[in-house]
A and B are shown apart, each in its own frame.
Chain A
């Protein structure tokens, strides 16, 4: 019995420490470039989310009633929450706005997952004008993946305007079906719909080739020869050039048939992959349309990462941070806390032990996996691995990490 409804979870111990560490690393990377931490409300107005999310996400929202009687939902998407807050809380002359966040989202799970709540890290850059923001965000994203030690991570970039450009002359229902097939990633359905579509061969050929236009820079060169003139390849081309110039050539790919589950993207989009994960660990892109639905004129781009997916394969940060158990012994509590300050002042984490018997304190330290134990009333620290001791002034010994 967890005392929690199915699909929900409380996180503690090492897992909680890993999440907090990752959040801090992420905030440090983005904070260094002027991104400010956002803590959005867990409850959002149901109607506001419903109108702006795709049917696939809409059907997975968890509705609840606020005490005021308003129909709400548990936050299904952090970008939406961020844009809503920024749109209502900041004046136009404060833009561009840069925010980053690390928080939970709530969606009814789809197979084979069972979890309703998931931790996401993300960043948004809102209300900017001109080039640079996509490059800034993607560069910082790749930097943060390195800082988080996500192994063999890479980014796949697409652009929704390319597909929309090709679908301009396609009958509405067929265009919708083709879009859905790509979103579902069913190339079987895509090819089948395309083969029956009442369109000219000149239009069918580039659409048929679209899912194959993926890979490195060469895919973009191939696309220029296959897609009709006027197809907007410049945006993704210059983005790719910039990231190649920044040294990310081996970690950036293109996929011109890339689509995202959320409807609000309106330009370059991307998905993030890491080692050992078949599905993307995150994604994002340009969403100017969403911004305008909140009455904000300008451009916006952002992304989110599934934090728990990333941490599944991340290397262990190494050991328990809190590694000295400090026994109060014969000292009064206030004196024991004063003596313990010796360790904390030196950045050495400790856990206080208030039990009466010395042996019980040592047993507890061993049980918790601590290597070091000290009696605060004497000036020695004991190594529980080999039962040796050393003067407090020589602790920690050389080569033992302590923070």
Chain B
């Protein structure tokens, strides 16, 4: 039995075409209902909160998983990152109101004391620390865009896809932190004993990724 952890919520929709392309059965996964474990032929899917996916793989409950690169950066759990699926693309950015844009345009010291609201405290700390900027992290679990509107923070560090939510809430991208996409990860034990199976699955993604890239460009 192949145990695969997949993120619930919006990301699950992104996962299904990838798993299909990898040759894995995922008919039931398209309408999981409230089930947290779904078995299809030789696969058992474990539906987990996106931030918990790395832990399931790390502790050996799941052999393989699909996880966003933002989650992998934030959780920093030692896993084998096998491939970038090229799907679920978005960006991790720092965004804020126009009024603080000038602080980002200047030298780093002007950012000292910045209050940053985020769901990603580890990435935020690492990003500003590597630039020697002392700031304060305000750790939130959702609707981060509210924080600058209510004066709790000066800016946010969050993922952005179309930028519509930012625009509606009067925020704009001030700095890009990283590109994000869905990655295939595995635990170390599984990669050592099932490399041929993994290679075949990853190889089956290559032409599909190529086509998608071509489609994206046009």
CB distance from A147 to the nearest CB of B (A): 21
CB distance from B55 to the nearest CB of A (A): 5
CB distance from B203 to the nearest CB of A (A): 11
- Among the interface residues B81, B83, B189, B196, which one has the most CB atoms of the partner chain A within 10 A? B189
CB distance from A23 to the nearest CB of B (A): 24
Q: Please name all residues of chain B whose beta carbon is closer than 8 Å to the beta carbon of A286 when the two chains form the complex.
A: none
Q: Is B21 an interface residue (CB 8 A)?
A: no
Q: Is A107 an interface residue (CB 8 A)?
A: no
Stretch at the interface among A40-48, A116-124, A271-279, A386-394: A271-279
Q: Is A255 an interface residue (CB 8 A)?
A: yes
Chain A contact-residue range equals 20 to 34
Q: Are A110 and B76 in contact (CB under 8 A)?
A: yes
Chain B residues 190-218 with CB under 8 Å of chain A are: 190-193, 195-196, 199
Q: Is A10 an interface residue (CB 8 A)?
A: no
Q: Is A335 an interface residue (CB 8 A)?
A: no
A110 to B84, CA, bound (A): 24
Q: Are B77 and A186 in contact (CB under 8 A)?
A: no
Stretch at the interface among B56-64, B100-108, B144-152, B158-166: B56-64
* Contact with A112, one of B60, B61, B75 (Cβ below 8 angstroms): B75
Chain A residues 180-204 with CB under 8 Å of chain B are: 184-189
A352 to B150, CA, bound (A): 67
Q: Are A185 and B75 in contact (CB under 8 A)?
A: no
Q: Is A12 an interface residue (CB 8 A)?
A: no
- Chain B minimum-CB-distance residue to A261: B78
Chain A residues 203-221 with CB under 8 Å of chain B are: 212, 214-215
* Contact with A215, one of B82, B183, B196 (Cβ below 8 angstroms): B196
Q: Are A186 and B75 in contact (CB under 8 A)?
A: no
Chain A residues 97-150 with CB under 8 Å of chain B are: 110-112
Supposing A188-B82, A273-B188 touch, asked if A278 and B195 sit within 8 A by C-beta, the answer is no
Q: Please name all residues of chain A whose beta carbon is closer than 8 Å to the beta carbon of B76 when the two chains form the complex.
A: 110-111
Supposing A112-B54, A187-B81 touch, asked if A278 and B187 sit within 8 A by C-beta, the answer is yes
A338 to B59, CA, bound (A): 51
- Chain B minimum-CB-distance residue to A156: B192
Supposing A110-B76, A111-B76, A253-B193 touch, asked if A278 and B81 sit within 8 A by C-beta, the answer is no
Q: Please name all residues of chain A whose beta carbon is closer than 8 Å to the beta carbon of B122 when the two chains form the complex.
A: 111
Q: Is A280 an interface residue (CB 8 A)?
A: yes
Q: Are A279 and B196 in contact (CB under 8 A)?
A: no
Q: Please name all residues of chain B whose beta carbon is closer than 8 Å to the beta carbon of A188 when the two chains form the complex.
A: 81-84, 183
Chain B residues 77-92 with CB under 8 Å of chain A are: 77-84
Q: Please name all residues of chain B whose beta carbon is closer than 8 Å to the beta carbon of A189 when the two chains form the complex.
A: 81
Q: Are B199 and A111 in contact (CB under 8 A)?
A: no
A160 to B60, CA, bound (A): 26
Q: Please name all residues of chain B whose beta carbon is closer than 8 Å to the beta carbon of A278 when the two chains form the complex.
A: 57-63, 187-190
Q: Please name all residues of chain B whose beta carbon is closer than 8 Å to the beta carbon of A154 when the two chains form the complex.
A: 192-193
CB distance from A333 to the nearest CB of B (A): 50
Supposing A273-B188, A279-B187 touch, asked if A112 and B83 sit within 8 A by C-beta, the answer is no
Can you name 5 A-B pairs with beta carbons within 8 Å? Answer: A187-B83, A255-B192, A273-B188, A278-B59, A279-B189
Q: Chain A residues in contact with chain B, CB under 8 A?
A: 110-112, 154, 156, 184-189, 212, 214-215, 253, 255, 271, 273, 276-280
